[in-house]
Structure 1
Amino acid sequence: MKPRWIVVLLFITVFAEARAQRASYRVEALVSAPISSIRGLSVVSDEVVWVSGTQGKAGRSTDGGRTWEWFSIPGCDSCDFRDIEAFSANRALIMGIAEPARIFLTENGGKHWKQVYFNDTKGIFLDAMDFWNDKDGVIAGDPMNGRFKGLQTHDGGQTWQDLTLPEAAEGEACFAASGTTLRALPGKQAFAIASGGSKSRFFRYSGGKWAVINWPATQGAASKGIFSFAFHGAKNGVAVGGDYMNPKDENSNCLVTSDGGNTWALPRKAPRGYRSAVEYLDGRQLITTGPGGTDMSTDGGQTWEALTDEGFHAVRKAKKGSRVYLAGGKGRIAVLRRND
């Protein structure tokens, strides 16, 4: 057994290193967009960033957020585009969530938008969209007729087909808070969905089979559950959420897994309340945000410390690069910077 003073010294050293790593970052405001709320955020590279949100609007930057172009999709003034998937500076898909649910595609940098999906069925509500590559993608939505709504594409979003997703419990649904309640996972056509409401569960599809996993997330009310999750590789993952009606509540608002989502556990120290998005910076460092603030972890999600009290709806890392962007209420867009 190690002497107590060695254990204490190790703890102090680890704590000091973690604080030093967090202190090396800051959230830097970029612009206030002409969009009242942004929840759709897709970062193609360190320089190419797309956003979407309320009032039928979207935006694009091709210079790392220094300058922006803003687009109003015709006939969509009341649309809420809560998710966006961008593939390049020219090509992007935006998803309008509800009655009617709409998906639009641009292939010329936002100059023109083509409607590629329309559904005005009563009760339809799309939550999140993700892609494995430029062609193959999937969408998950709230339950219809007792089963989560699913869509899939194999031609880059030009056409969409129905996809059978699992049955939902009464009062169980997904959240359209940041477009990350659904994630494409490593492996052919593997993906996962997180739910909330009366029940909060983790649904993973792989090898043609569904695994339905109960986890110790807060649940039991329409405002509670997991709102976002992320994986680094096939095994390590973190999920965040909470109760958006009680945004300071830390009870069961974060979960971690090291076995691909088969089992989940509470972290040693949770984020400071309801969080709507989480993203890996690397294998050990993560950032999570919500309207009430932004936190970071340097140990794979086991402990979280405050980065700033400024909160956002969405946070995403560049698909091809290392830069991390945030977007949220009142059209705010920011970037995570290193202080050194």
Structure 2
Amino acid sequence: MKRWMLCCLLLLSLTAASARVAEWWHIDTKTNASFRGLSVVDDSVAWVSGSKGWVGKTVNGGKHWTWQQVKGYGQCDFRSLYAFNGKEAVIAHAGSPAYVLRTEDGGATWKKVYENDDTAAFIDGIDFATREIGMIYGDPINGRMLLLNTVDGGRTWTELPLKQRPLMSTGEASFAASGTCIKYLDKKRVVIATGGTVSRLLISKNNGGKWTSVSTPILQGESSTGVFSFLAISPRRWLIVGGNYKRDTLSEANCFYTRNRGRTWYAPVVTTRGYRECVIEAPDAIKPMADGTLLAVGPSGQDISYDNGVSWSTFSNQEQFHVIKKARHGKLIIMAGGQGKVAILRHVRLY
């Protein structure tokens, strides 16, 4: 009798656990800005940034948001964003002049910490290895990638010497579609993905002192093609997504993974449903701690993989989203995009 009751309780608990639906909870941002900058710190704090100088912040997991147009920068498109906590964050404008701003009071005031008025200046992404060490990169100026380093948490930025910046091919640049083409693997190793006529991975083992190159098989050859997001699942297993943003439903050479740091690339058995701008690990997207679960987002919808990118299926048809992030320290997942769209992934019990 006791064994029977135990089995019944176990069955009920499993049924209850499986009777959950993941859905997107949309936020009223009261703006039609295009959001591509997104930084989710933990299950409470997240920042989002985008066009027309708009920046948003939540400190309670998305229940309430504060919104502002950064004073004096209403013409800027802040596509790159990195937040440390609810008070400190760094944002960068994708365009010329290239601006980098930092706040230490939750966005009440912003200080300009870098400016580049070269007409070719265009910042594509930002990432930090530690609380102090970080890197910003951008499109090439005079044939070499723009690279900035900080060792004080983004309060000051220094351009790397010209000879340390990778030499770019004609028509090679990068994409600021989601700010996820740069990633620190540890305190010194950083990877940057390029696109356009050539799409490859640039890898430094000493924080930008020297670079090596890894070729990718992703769709390339035009200004609208290449890698749009890089994900390091493990030290050796990496995944790239992208395609052609001018043909966003084209499912051709738009997703690949490697098990040996790019020496060999594999195409999925079933790929995403078109061009994708961002990919993340999302073990709690459907069920808790389901390792191998990935989410990829693009303007035509989101796709999910349960096997680290070997195969993909439809997750949602929500349109006009460009970037998705999971909390660096937690489970909170947020995506953002065009027309002022911001959405939080939440789970609802059916009964």
TM-score by length of structure 1 reads 0.90
Amino acid at match of 1:221: E
Question: What's the CA shift for 1:31?
Answer: 2.7
Unaligned ranges ≥5, structure 1: 1-19
Which residue does the alignment assign to 2:261?
Answer: 260
AA aligned to 1:81 is: F
Which of 198-207 and 244-253 deviates more? 198-207
In structure 2, stretches of 5+ residues that fail to align are 1-16, 284-290
Q: Which of 304, 312, 317 pairs up with 2:326? A: 317
Alpha-carbon distance in structure 2 between the residues aligned to 1:84 and 1:195: 19
Residue of structure 2 in register with 1:226 after alignment: 227
- After the TM superposition, which of the residue ranges 329-338 and 48-57 deviates more from structure 2? 329-338
- Structure 2 matches for 1:124-273, cutoff 5 A? 124-163=121-160, 164-186=164-186, 188-207=187-206, 209-273=210-274
Distance 1:159 1:209 in 2: 22
Matches within 5 A, 1:1-340: 24-163=21-160, 164-186=164-186, 188-207=187-206, 209-282=210-283, 283-311=291-319, 312-340=321-349
Output the amino acid matched with 2:203.
R
CA shift, 1:264, in A, is 2.2
Structure 1 residue 87: Cα displacement: 0.3
Residue type of the alignment partner of 2:331: S
- How far apart are residue 57 of structure 1 and its match? 1.4
Aligned residues of 2:44 and 2:61 also touching (Cα < 8 A): yes
Moved more, 92-101 or 329-338: 329-338
Q: Distance in 2 between matches of 1:325 and 1:259?
A: 30
Superposition deviation, residue 35 in structure 1: 4.5
Q: Give how far 1:339 is off.
A: 4.2
Shift of 1:32: 3.2
Q: Report the identity percentage.
A: 40
Contact 1:288-1:294 at 8 Å conserved across structures: yes
Give 1 or 2 for the bigger CA radius of gyration.
2
Q: How many residues align?
A: 319
Which runs of structure 1 show a deviation greater than 4 angstroms over 4 or more consecutive aligned residues?
A: none
Deviation at 1:209, TM superposition (A): 4.0
Report the equivalent of 2:7: none
Q: Secondary structure at the match of 1:267?
A: coil
| Structure 1 position 65, deviation (Å) | 1.1
Deviation of 1:262 (Å): 3.4
Q: Is the 8 A contact 2:241 2:255 kept in 1?
A: yes
Give the Cα–Cα distance (whole angstroms) in 2 for the partners of residues 327 and 45 of structure 1: 17
The answer to whether the 8 A contact 1:281-1:317 is kept is: yes
SS at match of 2:23: strand
Q: What TM-score results when the alignment is normalised by the length of structure 2? A: 0.87
- Post-superposition Cα deviations, 1:3-33, rounded to whole Å, max 9, x if no partner, equal xxxxxxxxxxxxxxxxx99x85322223334
Task: Kindly provide the CA deviation profile for residues 100-157 of structure 1, in whole angstroms up to 9, marking residues without a partner as x.
Answer: 1001111111111111111111211110000012111001111111111111100011
